[in-house]
A and B are shown apart, each in its own frame.
Chain A
Amino acid sequence: AQSVAQPEDQVNVAEGNPLTVKCTYSVSGNPYLFWYVQYPNRGLQFLLKYITGDNLVKGSYGFEAEFNKSQTSFHLKKPSALVSDSALYFCAVRDRGGDTGRRALTFGSGTRLQVQP
């Protein structure tokens, strides 16, 4: 079984400061990892993904995430937060599994990011 933990329900950060949203995962094999963002009354928007290769992944809107296999983590980061980054962030995992692997994503419970002006 695969699972994702986002240990913080909410993260507060001042505009211009760096931000980190934490995610840890559990899969039986090697993972595909994703971050999505959800704004009010809108669908999930893809931010970035880790498939293979470089452990530091860069995505949309200046976000990046670092894959750490030994710690089974995939924390989302941004060097300088904007008020417009305030939203709900979801980490998701899929077991690599090949053609017989489970295709569906397993999501964490989400972390609300609040960036204060």
Chain B
Amino acid sequence: DTGVSQDPRHKITKRGQNVTFRCDPISEHNRLYWYRQTLGQGPEFLTYFQNEAQLEKSRLLSDRFSAERPKGSFSTLEIQRTEQGDSAMYLCASSETSGRLNNEQFFGPGTRLTVL
């Protein structure tokens, strides 16, 4: 499968614990995005990378959230000291910078986080 993959698919944690999610984009895509989706809502933008550079961060991305893309390939999203309000589906997407598929973002299946 050459699509966007995310790991884990589900994560249950206790309030106050740290969690880390991984996203592997489509291999030739140099743009990578993180979104968060809560029940009954559309995805909300968190952050965006072009290669290894983090170019944009949403105000939703509090100090407890950090994202990295160290080699411009896979990315990780870490949430420290989780809160119940962090419970959501975390979606990763990737896109090309040019060509026919420019601007089109391909989404992974998401990581569903439940904070108890």
Contact = CB atoms under 8 A, between A and B. Distances in A.
Contacts, number: 56
Contacts of A102: 56
B33 A104 contact: yes
Most buried by B among A45, A92, A106, A107: A107
Given A43-B91, A43-B109, A51-B103, A110 B41 contact: yes
Nearest to B34: A104
B42 A110 contact: yes
B107 A44 contact: yes
Contacts of B31: 103
Contacts of B43: 44, 90, 105, 107
Contact of B103 (A4, A42, A49, A107): A49
29 contacts: A32-B103, A34-B104, A36-B107, A42-B109, A43-B107, A44-B43, A44-B91, A44-B93, A45-B107, A46-B105, A46-B107, A49-B103, A51-B103, A90-B42, A90-B43, A92-B42, A102-B56, A103-B56, A104-B48, A104-B58, A105-B33, A105-B105, A106-B45, A107-B43, A109-B40, A109-B41, A109-B42, A110-B40, A110-B41
